[in-house]
Structure formats: C-alpha cells, structure tokens
Amino acid sequence: MEIKEVTASQLSDMFLAGAKYLESKKDFINELNVFPVPDGDTGTNMTMTIMSAAREVAALESPDMKSLSKAISSGSLRGARGNSGVILSQLFRGFTKVIKTEEVLTVPVINDAFQKAVETAYKAVMKPKEGTILTVARAAADKASEIAETTDDIIVFCQSILQEAEETLAKTPDMLPVLKQAGVVDSGGQGLVEVLRGGTDFILGKEIDISLSAEDESGSIASSDKKTEDEYIYKVSFVLLAKEAFAAKLDVDLLEYFDTIGSGIHINTGNKQMQISLSTNEPGRALTRSLKFGMITDVSIENTTVGTTPVAEAAPVAEAPTNEPPKDMGFVTVSIGEGMNRIFRELGADYVIEGGQTMNPSTEDILSAIGKVNANTVFVLPNNKNIVLAANQAKTLCENKEVIVLPTKTLPQGITALINYIPDQSPADNESRMIEEIGRIASGEITHAVRDTTIDDKEIREGDYMGIGDKGILSVCENIEDTFIGLLGELVTDESSLVSIYYGSDVSSDEAAAMSQKVTEEFPDLEVELQDGGQPVYYYVISVE
C-alpha cells in the first residue's frame, strides 16, 4: 500500500487517533514523572490539551485544511495545561501554520510542517533542556527532513518518523541524569510518541475508535447520611483514576473515610475510573485522601452558599464594577486551599484561579481571568513552575490589556510579590521590585512518596515523607517532623530571620502548632509565623526569608 496525499478529512481522523492513543496512555505517562509525589500530571495535562483541540476537530462536519488547522491550533493553545501541554500546543501551532493553506498534504509539505512545529515550540521555551519532549520532537523533524529526500510515500515517511521518535525517547535517560536515576524515560516525550503512533496506525489502516463519547459507567454506591447535605458548605466532585493495586475494595475504603468528613456520598464505579461526589466542609481532605490511590481529574468544588467554581477555572474574588473606569493595575493569582485563597484575597488579588500542582489551569482559564479584571495592566502570578508557560501563552493571546507574568513558582513567592506591590508606582517599577523580592525567599513543601525510587542519590520508599525545596528533594524521612526540620535546615541561612508555615488540609491545628513549637526550639533565632493554608496534597508549605 502506498499513499502520496493526505486530505483534510484523513488528517482530521489521524489527529483524533493520536488524541485517543494519548488518552489511553494517560495513567502510564503520569507514572513516568520523576518525582514520586502524589500529583503526577504530565499525562493528564497533555491529554486535556489535545482533547480540547479534539473536541473542536470532531465538531467539524466537512473540514478543509484551513478550518482543521484553526481547530487544532486554537483548541490546543487555549486548552493547554502544564509545561508539557503548552509545548504540545506550540508544536501543533507551528505545524498548522504550514498546512493551513494547502489543499492536500504531501511528504514535502508535512516535512516543512514538522520543521516549523519544532521551531515554534523551541521559541516558546526560555531554556530548552535536552532529554525532553523537545528533543523527541526535534529528532522526529530531523528524520522527516532526511526521509523526505528519499520517498514520497506518506506511510514510509510516517513509519520512519515514529521509529526515530521511539528510539530517541529510549535515549532520554542518557541525556537527563535525573531520568536515568529514576529509571524512566521523559514523560512528555512519551506523550508525543503516543500522538505520532496513533496517527501512523490510522494511516496504516488499523481500526481505531476515534469517537469522543464518554465511557459508560455502571454500579453505584451511596452512603447512608449521618447529616443532611445542607449542613455542609461544599459539594465536591471529581473522577478518580485508581491504580489497579487499590481497585478491589477501594470504593468501600473511600466510602468509610468520606463518611467521617461528609455526607451525600456517591461513588460510581466504571471501567478503570470512579466518579465521586460528596458534601463536606473539608474538600481538601477528600482530594488528598483520593490522591493516595491514583490520579484525580475533572474536579469541581461548589460552595453551596455561593455557587459552582470548577477547581481549574477562574474564580472571581471581587467582581469589578463594569460602570467604573479601569484601575491602573490588577492581579490574577493561582492558588489552592481555602486559607491560601483567603491570604491572596486579603493581599489584594482581584481574581483567584483555583488550581496548582495537582490541577494546572489551562491557558483559557488564565486568559478568562485576565479579561475579568478591571485594570489596564494585569499581573499574573502562576505560583507553580508548571503553570508559567501557560500564563505566558495567555499573555500572547490577550489583545486588550497589558499583561505581566511574574515568574512565581511557589505559593510563598506569590505572597511575597503581592506584599511588595506599591500601588502608586509604575507597572515596570513594581515588576522589577517584585521579581527582586521573590528571589530573596526560599520555599519548601512536605508531601509523601507514592512509589520507591532514587533521586539525587536519595533512596525513597513509598510512604516516606519528602521535603522538597526550590531545587529538588532536600530531605527524606519516615517521620514527618524529622523531614520538616531536615528541610528547614537546608533552607535556613545565617541571614534568615523569618519562617512562615502554611499547614494543609490533612494537618490539624494542634499538629501544626506542635510543629511550629518544634521549629522555635530548633531555630531559636528565627521568628515563626503559622497560618492555615488548607492546601491539599502538601502537608506543609514553608517560606524562609
């Protein structure tokens, strides 16, 4: 069989096949994350990114290259989540720049599109690293350039590119020592390979279900309510993609736990996933508990006294009056946890996007939030290294406001930025000062390991507590107190004067107070501040300045 042209309809189906392949490998890709933290999200982010585009592609009744290119590019750009998702969207953006004016695709055209895709993606990343999705994409593009000189058969062309991508992916541990030590290939590169594999298999004639209909769910377990649901403030719902090791009695185990913190509990069990909802005053505890058993997605938290707020979507803090002139400057910040959200509001944030390490907001979420701030200049605080690229992408898509993305990679950095904002100074002066001040603090966080691994020569066992700093894992112990003190010892310097501790949803106020007292005893020269952050997944978030 030989194919020398690909129509828009065929390319549409190839794209949808690639999206389905990526979706089917989502959990596997999540498990490839180097850090053994309960928030592996590369597979989820890449899947949500490509599915945003896939929905637009599937909605096209009779696509031509122009409409198909717009659906792929716009859908993925706005739906991009996390660094891997943003890079994937930029690859699609570059690819579609070339093909959008074509009637059909030939090997030379596809080759040109591959070159533009890689060029566009590399430009979007300030400091590209070898051994990542970018390396796999560049190797595929180099192979495309080579093979385009020897064949006009698109099947041979696609098979050669896929093989090169697979071989390069296998070499990524030799390019990034952290991958080799963890014994994994690059998760973003794996995601890209799945997209290429899906498209290639489809053009080869393999039967692939490219429909986007949700899987049917069956079975339902509901608790007997101790209290009426209206006694609780929040209604939380999400999908749990459980690990097979926990699947057997997981619904019963979770039901028993949720019954201690809430009411109106419903757990619908389906094929490899569980749809969960409950009313509770402690949504963070419900999410954190569930993360111990697998990945969560499609999270929404409804404050029943206010209304529904999807966790990874823009949540208004103070609705700007539309009849008032815009102020000079405003703030959009990403945060998670009732206490953390309250802190950002009190410091002057105009809009809070609820999300973070476990639930990266999309480019569209950030763009929407920017649009709802009544200000000429809007500062965006990503507060997570995996959200910075999406924030910058939102900035490029915003047409009617000046947007400044501050490179805040932790919640404490975002708090520090807002503390150092001076309203009567210019945006440029504020940007300069805030960037300088966030560079003066050290951040850390405590969580638990979800698998055995070795990182930075540290042996980590499942269930160990880990102290993670700005530059990696700094302490590992079986005891949370020892982990905390060990982490703090790495963060504190002779010039340090203040430690701020934000305790999470899985830590009681008494436990937090005891930890604060321990810090005072171990570091008597430091002032210690303790605040309820309410964040899920991370027992403590720390800043040292």
Q: For residue 334, give the CATH number of its domain.
A: 3.40.50.510
Between 305-309, 323-327, 453-457, the lowest mean confidence (pLDDT) is in 305-309
Handedness of CA 128, 130, 134, 140 (dihedral sign): positive
Which residue type is seen at 71? Answer: A
Total tally of structural domains belonging to the chain:
4
pLDDT one-digit tens code per residue, 133-171: 999 999 999 999 999 999 999 999 999 999 999 999 999
Q: Per-residue pLDDT averaged across 357-379, rounded?
A: 88
Q: Is the pLDDT of residue 278 over 90?
A: no
Residue 211 lies in a domain: no
Look at residues 244, 264, 246 and name the one whose alpha carbon lies nearest to residue 255: 264
- What CATH number did the domain enclosing 127 receive? 1.25.40.340
Residue 50 lies in a domain: yes
Quote the pLDDT of residue 269: 65
Domain that holds residue 377: 314-437
Quote the pLDDT of residue 39: 58
Q: Per-residue pLDDT averaged across 344-365, rounded?
A: 86
Single residue among 405, 437, 469 that ends a domain in this structure = 437
Highest mean pLDDT among 126-130, 276-280, 502-506: 502-506
- 45 lies in the same domain as 191: yes
Quote the pLDDT of residue 305: 59
Q: Per-residue pLDDT averaged across 321-345, rounded?
A: 87
Which residue type is seen at 141? Answer: A
Single residue among 203, 235, 268 that ends a domain in this structure = 203
- 154 lies in the same domain as 178: yes
Alpha carbon distance 403, 188 (integer Å): 28
CB 370 within 8 A of CB 403: yes
- 88 lies in the same domain as 176: yes
- 100 lies in the same domain as 12: yes
What's the pLDDT band for 322 if we cut at 50, 70, 90?
Answer: low
What's the pLDDT band for 243 if we cut at 50, 70, 90?
Answer: low
- 241 lies in the same domain as 298: yes
- What CATH number did the domain enclosing 238 receive? 3.30.70
pLDDT one-digit tens code per residue, 195-242: 999 999 999 999 999 988 543 223 333 333 344 555 677 788 888 877
- 129 lies in the same domain as 240: no
Residue 216 lies in a domain: no
Residue 209 lies in a domain: no
Give, to the nearest 10 degrees, the angle between helix 107-124 and helix 388-397. 110
Q: With left for phi above 0 and alpha for psi between -120 and 50, is residue 5 left, alpha or beta?
A: beta
- 31 lies in the same domain as 169: yes
Residue 32 lies in a domain: yes
Give, to the nearest 10 degrees, the angle between helix 133-147 and helix 187-203. 40
Is 249 or 37 the better-scoring residue by pLDDT? 37
Average pLDDT over the chain reads 86
Structure tokens at 217: 């769910």
Quote the pLDDT of residue 290: 79
Single residue among 263, 291, 310 that ends a domain in this structure = 310
**Residue 455 forms beta bridges with which residues?**
458
Quote the pLDDT of residue 438: 94
- 127 lies in the same domain as 140: yes
Residue 210 lies in a domain: no
- 24 lies in the same domain as 72: yes
Q: Is the pLDDT of residue 317 over 60?
A: no
- What CATH number did the domain enclosing 476 receive? 3.30.1180.10
Name every residue whose Cβ is closer than 8 Å to that of residue 406 and which is 6 or more positions away in sequence.
379, 380, 381, 382, 414, 417, 431, 434, 435, 438
Q: Per-residue pLDDT averaged across 77-104, rounded?
A: 95
- 455 lies in the same domain as 525: yes
Q: Per-residue pLDDT averaged across 394-413, rounded?
A: 94
Is 21 or 296 the better-scoring residue by pLDDT? 21
Look at residues 134, 131, 142, 30 and name the one whose alpha carbon lies nearest to residue 90: 134
Between 268-272, 300-304, 450-454, the lowest mean confidence (pLDDT) is in 268-272
SS3 (DSSP) at 46? helix
Could you tell me what percent of the chain has a pLDDT over 70?
88
Quote the pLDDT of residue 280: 83
Name every residue whose Cβ is closer than 8 Å to that of residue 251 and which is 6 or more positions away in sequence.
221, 267, 269, 274
| Residues 433-459: b if buried by 16+ CB within 10 A, e if exposed | ebbebbeebbbbbbbbbbbebebeeee
Is 181 or 94 the better-scoring residue by pLDDT? 94
Residue 123 lies in a domain: yes
- 318 lies in the same domain as 302: no
- 166 lies in the same domain as 76: yes
Residue 1 lies in a domain: no
User: Phi then psi for 232, rounded to 5 degrees?
Assistant: -105, 150
